[in-house]
Amino acid sequence: MKKILSLLVLVTSVLITACGPKYEAINGCEISPKTVCPKIDLSEANLHEANMSQGDLTGANLSGANLSGANLVYTDLREADLTGADLTGAELMGADLRDSNLKAADLTGAEYNKYTQFPEGFDKQTAGLVWNGSGTSK
């Protein structure tokens, strides 16, 4: 019984990994949790549901990128260019967006919490953001 249970756990973990979205490196940046890609050009990249939580994307060019449903929990996006980016439904709990350019970015339904930092004067309500008081991702 122990062998069957161990095999079941192994198969499940392999399937979960295999079924998740896969992203190849873009301009040398590995799209994964804790990625370190400051000042990288990811403009127009399709990063739908990508997990880049706890990553460093300071000063990155993400203009026009599809980040809908992306996990950006505790990701450093200071000074990033998110002009025209699609961030609908993205998880922004604890993300640092200070001094980032959010002009024409779609943040409808994106979640934030008390640890999320926005550019000075940014209006979360007008942008359509959703408060996630629990601070946890989906």
Q: Is residue 4 part of a domain?
A: no
CA atoms of 75 and 21, how far apart (whole Å)? 19
Average pLDDT (12-23) is 51
- Given a cut of 60, whether residue 13 has pLDDT beyond it is no
- Given a cut of 80, whether residue 18 has pLDDT beyond it is no
CA atoms of 112 and 95, how far apart (whole Å)? 8
pLDDT tens column, 90-120: 999 999 999 999 999 999 999 999 999 999 9
Residue 4: the pLDDT is: 59
Q: Is residue 88 part of a domain?
A: yes
Let me know how many helices (H) and strands (E) the chain has, helices first.
Answer: 2, 2
Q: Is residue 102 part of a domain?
A: yes
Q: Residue 91 maps to which CATH number?
A: 2.160.20.80
**Are 42 and 26 contacting, i.e. CB atoms less than 8 angstroms apart?**
yes
Q: Is residue 132 part of a domain?
A: yes
Q: Is residue 14 part of a domain?
A: no
**Between residues 22 and 14, the one the model is more confident about:** 22
Residue 136: the pLDDT is: 67
- Quote the mean pLDDT of the chain: 88
Q: What is the pTM of this model?
A: 0.83
Label residue 122 exposed, middle or buried (CB < 10 Å: 0-12, 13-18, 19+).
middle
pLDDT tens column, 66-90: 999 999 999 999 999 999 999 999 9
Q: Is residue 67 part of a domain?
A: yes
Domain that holds residue 78: 30-138
Average pLDDT (111-130) is 97
For the chain, the domain total comes to: 1
Q: Is residue 54 part of a domain?
A: yes
% of the chain with per-residue pLDDT over 90 = 78
Q: Is residue 117 part of a domain?
A: yes
Average pLDDT (29-37) is 97
